[in-house]
Amino acid sequence: MISLHRSCFLNNSGISGSSSLFSYKLNKLPPASVKATALGPNSDTNASVLIENKAFKEITQDGTSAAANVDINLTVAGGDREVYYDDAATEDQLVTPWSVSVASGYSLLRDPHHNKGLAFTEKERDAHYLRGLLPPTVISQDLQVKKMMYSIRKYKVPLQKYMAMMDLQETNERLFYKLLIDNVEELLPVVYTPTVGEACQKYGSIFRRPQGVFISLKEKGKIHEVLRNWPQKDIQVIVVTDGERILGLGDLGCQGMGIPIGKLSLYTALGGVCPSACLPVTIDVGTNNEQLLNDEFYIGLRRRRATGLEYAELMDEFMTAVKQKYGEKVLIQFEDFANHNAFDLLAKYGTTHLVFNDDIQGTASVVLAGLVAALKVVGGTLADHRFLFLGAGEAGTGIAELTALEISKQTNMPLEEARKKISLVDSKGLIVKSRIDSLQHFKKPWAHDHEPIKKLVDAVNGTKPTVLIGTSGVGRTFTKEVVEAMAALNDKPIIFSLSNPTSQSECTAEEAYTWSKGRAIFASGSPFDPVEYEGRVFVPGQANNAYIFPGFGLGLIMSGAIRVHDDMLLAASEALAAQVTQENFDKGLIYPPFKNIRQISANIAANVAAKAYELGLATRQPRPKDLVKYAESCMYNPAYRSYR
């Protein structure tokens, strides 16, 4: 019998105790592994890694089993009592943080990647030292899902549901994803918008355990080393934010980490990307949010935001380190960066990295899909319509540009001409040529020859749009007067109120249907309940980016794409629009139900991958014959695995 257990007793002057610092004793060696357990006065839990038994075989010179050849019982500090905690040292003394002992079922129950809770079989409980650590009953994963949904539905506050889901993710990963996949329509608003917005606002007070990598200015010059601290090595998708523009809530600094965590949960649940291949990252360069800076529970750097060269150097080091560590084909998704950085980062790294900005490109793709689907209700082509946007930031200009590209593609119209069908309103009014010198660079393509207009309702009457899209981040800006003006101009006005969370939506579904007398084709960014108007029930569509980015990312991964091209975004839009059925249209929907999201994602992934192969940007060869089936085969399955 052999156990490797090192117990060092240190005082301020050095090592003290017996002449031997190692105790070898093993009561029971498991058939496959032992564990190294991190112990220390600052450890919240034991961290363990599995070590193959061959390491122990190498202890003996002839390579035979150490357990069969070694029978020693050396002790330290007298007796054979093993010291596993810091009770043998005073608080100001150092303790040895590592010991090697049998891999215990107790550790297995605390490993979220492998824990099955009460679903461990009788055989597994015997094989993995779980006897007595669980109640005697054995239940199925399906029954666990039923039980968890029963518990979650008892919570009346959405943030409590969010915290319950995050706790589950940290204790039983497969059950978390099984729960989310099976109940996606009910739980999507819990794990992502709108609840994730409140979670980010209160992240400091609800923070329990770290999920993802926090890179702050303190880590400048050491980012590659920081990435090595993350336990998973085969990373395929990174979602990164600097927290400056979280949803419509503004600068939340380090507490924006809730966004990358939520997005990557959806990459797995909706797109089938393996959770171990996902890495959430927050770049902490400070915050300009005074409330957070004065909040004792704030978890980030307490300083004003870094800008200019200091910011650029940190981001450049991060992008370089990611490529060095994970390779050319890792997808980096920029999330909730402020306008001035979002466009610059996408332009700077779009030619050297596989990068994607969901706020600019993902939003554009999902909205374009909604517009294409809506045309089947209102008639005509995109080129036949006029578009007015309230909001000229990342989302607004991104949607406008992709729409213009699609018009140009469909009609062979020059892009400059296609852009003239689209007008944008920002905080200063309609974007027109007379303002060109004062405009930010990403707004300049939308400065048309038109008299200046301040008010939105006047812009509606002046430009006479058939489509009104809100991306302003300012709630209740589509007033009754504005909606009635759209309804006066159009038999079936298309109104998209896209700002998140729900409180920032430009109008509610009920307002859009009521003020348009039931004629509006409506979609929103956050979910709204069905609306009954004059005996008819309208089901509002949700232009949620979750329709696009999980399948889009899967398509990039399965094709081995090395760059993102605009034609891939158009391919994703076309695939999503094609999933809307006549039955959906009859209910007023211009997006397919989320309950079919995995099949939707597979079709989007196939379209994106096909475009990558067509453009010569795919590296995974040969090309699969059936890309849809291949996409389905690549998807993560959260069903429990059987253990030896």
Closest by CA to 24, choosing from 40, 7, 10, 38, is 7
Specify the pLDDT at position 527.
Answer: 85
Q: What amino acid occupies position 638?
A: P
Gap between the Cα atoms of 99 and 117, Å rounded: 26
Q: Is 295 annotated as a binding residue?
A: no
Report whether pLDDT(260) > 50: yes
Give the residues across from 522 on adjacent strands: 495
Q: Distance of alpha carbon 156 from its chain centroid, rounded? A: 25
Give the up-direction half-sphere exposure of residue 133: CA atoms within 13 A in the CB hemisphere.
20
pLDDT tens digits, one per residue of 37-49: 443 433 443 333 3
Contact 172, 640 (CB under 8 A): no
Closest by CA to 398, choosing from 456, 466, 459, 347, is 347
Percentage of the residues of the chain whose pLDDT score is greater than 70: 84
Gap between the Cα atoms of 88 and 10, Å rounded: 10
- Phi, psi of 423, deg, nearest 5: -120, 145
Percentage of the residues of the chain whose pLDDT score is greater than 90: 77
Report whether pLDDT(508) > 70: yes
Of 606 and 584, the one with more pLDDT: 606
Gap between the Cα atoms of 396 and 401, Å rounded: 9
**Residue 563 per-residue DSSP state:** S
Mean pLDDT of 196-205: 92
Gap between the Cα atoms of 79 and 348, Å rounded: 65
Contact 557, 509 (CB under 8 A): no
Report whether pLDDT(25) > 80: no
Q: Is 335 annotated as a binding residue?
A: yes
Tokens of residue 549, six digits: 């980015």
Q: Is 544 annotated as a binding residue?
A: yes
Q: Is 480 a catalytic residue?
A: no
The 10 Å Cβ neighbour count of residue 351 is 8
3-state helix, strand, coil in the chain (%, to 5): 45, 15, 40
Q: Is 491 annotated as a binding residue?
A: no
Of 278 and 36, the one with more pLDDT: 278
Residue in 192, 298, 630, 636 annotated catalytic? 192
The 10 Å Cβ neighbour count of residue 575 is 28
Residue in 116, 178, 202, 263 annotated catalytic? 263
Report whether pLDDT(628) > 80: yes
Helix (H), strand (E) at residue 481: helix 480-489
CA angle 503, 507, 510 (to 5 degrees): 105
Whole-prediction pTM: 0.83
3-state helix/strand/coil string of 36-60: EEECCCCCCCCEEEEEECHHHHCCC
Helix (H), strand (E) at residue 33: strand 33-38
Per-residue confidence at 20, pLDDT binned at 50, 70, 90? very low
Total residue length of the chain: 644
Q: Is 263 a catalytic residue?
A: yes
**Domains of the chain, start order:** 361-543 (3.40.50.720), 547-634 (3.40.50.10380)
Contact 515, 508 (CB under 8 A): no
Angle between helices 549-559 and 258-271 (to 10 degrees): 70
Cis ω for the linkage preceding 624 (within 30 of 0): no
pLDDT tens digits, one per residue of 361-396: 999 999 999 999 999 999 999 999 999 999 999 999
Report whether pLDDT(136) > 80: yes
Closest by CA to 461, choosing from 425, 412, 420, 418, is 425
Per-residue confidence at 92, pLDDT binned at 50, 70, 90? low
Specify the pLDDT at position 518.
Answer: 95
Gap between the Cα atoms of 288 and 457, Å rounded: 33
Q: Is 500 annotated as a binding residue?
A: yes
Mean pLDDT across the chain: 86
Tokens of residue 281, six digits: 């990252």
User: Most distant CA pair in the chain: distance in Å?
Assistant: 93
Per-residue confidence at 94, pLDDT binned at 50, 70, 90? low
Q: Is 563 annotated as a binding residue?
A: no
Mean pLDDT of 322-345: 96
CA angle 64, 65, 69 (to 5 degrees): 90
The 10 Å Cβ neighbour count of residue 233 is 11
